[in-house]
Amino acid sequence: MTSTKHLQELLDRVARGEVDPNTAREELLEVLRAQPYEDLGMARVDHHRSVRQGFPEVVLGLGKTPAQIATIAAAIVKGGSTLLVTRASEASYQAVLAVVPGATYYADAALITFPQQDVTRGKGTIVVAAAGTSDLPVAEEAARTAELMGNDVTRLYDVGVAGLHRLLGERARLTAARVIIVVAGMEGALPSVVAGLVDVPVIAVPTSIGYGASFGGIAALLGMLNSCASGVSVVNIDNGFGAAAMASLINHL
């Protein structure tokens, strides 16, 4: 597979007389045979995702074997795209590393990454605020995903409503953000508080952290959906990646 950028470079080299047209024709035909997706049998890799949406296809590691993840990762990297695998295990990383030397594993976020493309930088800063230390895996998934998508990220951790002064002490960084991702479990109150302090979009991420009556994050989800503050949108439970993708779109407008 070959990226759109590589095809443009190939055509430019033909125009300069550096590549024989027949050679270029064979390479181009080989690429077009597998576009817009590549059928791997157990997966169909969407090589045109970045053309349509601005960022390549992302691999969800849950439910996939390390071998399957490695096969998909190799196809994405061969196509010239940036690799991002979410919810990845150490075993999956070792399998990917065997076919994508140089890939990085962030255990705190359960992400595998391999940047390959230049990305347009976001216009401002994305703040990722987490209520408690238990929420950090989801917060780091959001923060590292946003960074990979070309955004400057500021982290504000352990600023939950049980100690509101910790959040208010960071008000300057909150008000300087272009978009804010707020990650919280338990009763999920933090996004409402943050949204009441700022004039930018707030993306709320409920986490599955909490005691029995939190119902695995449903209590936080419902609390965020019922936010009395304006400007709050909500993604699914533990979906740090989804929050980062939305925040990145906003920050690139």
Among 99-108, 112-121, 233-242, the range scoring the smallest mean pLDDT is: 112-121
Write the DSSP string, 34-86: T-SEEE-SS-EEETTHHHHHSS---EE-TT--HHHHHHHHHHHHHTTPPEEEE
Same domain, 185 and 74: no
Structure tokens at 188: 């999920």
Which band of pLDDT confidence, cut at 50, 70 and 90, is reported for residue 1? very low
Q: What is the pLDDT of the chain when averaged over all its residues?
A: 89
**Tens digit of each residue's pLDDT (9 = 90 or more) over 8-34:** 787 888 888 887 888 877 777 666 555
Q: Is 49 inside a domain boundary?
A: yes
Q: Is 201 helix (H, G, I), strand (E, B) or coil?
A: coil
Query: Among residues 72, 70, 113, which one has the least CA distance to residue 92?
Result: 70
Q: Is 27 inside a domain boundary?
A: no
Last residue of one domain, picked from the residues 114, 139, 171: 114
Last residue of one domain, picked from the residues 63, 89, 114: 114
**Tens digit of each residue's pLDDT (9 = 90 or more) over 115-125:** 987 788 999 99
Same domain, 216 and 136: yes
What range defines the domain where residue 83 resides?
A: 34-114
Structure tokens at 24: 């270029």
Q: What is the mean pLDDT of residues 140-168?
A: 94
Same domain, 132 and 109: no
pLDDT the model gives residue 117: 77
Displacement of CA 107 from its chain's centroid (Å): 15
Same domain, 110 and 213: no
Which band of pLDDT confidence, cut at 50, 70 and 90, is reported for residue 4? low
Same domain, 138 and 229: yes
Last residue of one domain, picked from the residues 61, 86, 114: 114
Contact criterion met (CB below 8 Å) for 80 and 6? yes
pLDDT the model gives residue 29: 65
**Tens digit of each residue's pLDDT (9 = 90 or more) over 67-78:** 999 999 998 888
Query: Which CATH number is 194's domain given?
Result: 3.40.50.1970
Same domain, 102 and 150: no
Same domain, 64 and 171: no
**Tens digit of each residue's pLDDT (9 = 90 or more) over 184-206:** 999 999 999 999 999 999 999 99
**What is the dihedral sign for C-alpha 208, 211, 213, 219?**
negative
Calpha distance 179→157 (Å, rounded): 16
Specify the number of domains making up the chain.
2
pLDDT the model gives residue 3: 57
Query: Among residues 71, 58, 44, 37, which one has the least CA distance to residue 112?
Result: 58
pLDDT the model gives residue 44: 77
Alpha helices in the chain (DSSP H): 4-15, 21-33, 49-53, 66-78, 90-99, 136-148, 164-168, 171-175, 190-195, 218-225, 240-251
Calpha distance 179→144 (Å, rounded): 15
The residue written with tokens 């009556």 in the block is 213
Same domain, 63 and 99: yes
| pTM exceeds cut of 0.75 | yes
Same domain, 215 and 141: yes
Same domain, 225 and 130: yes
Query: Among residues 46, 50, 22, which one has the least CA distance to residue 34?
Result: 46
Calpha distance 102→115 (Å, rounded): 10
Same domain, 130 and 107: no
pLDDT the model gives residue 30: 65
Same domain, 136 and 110: no
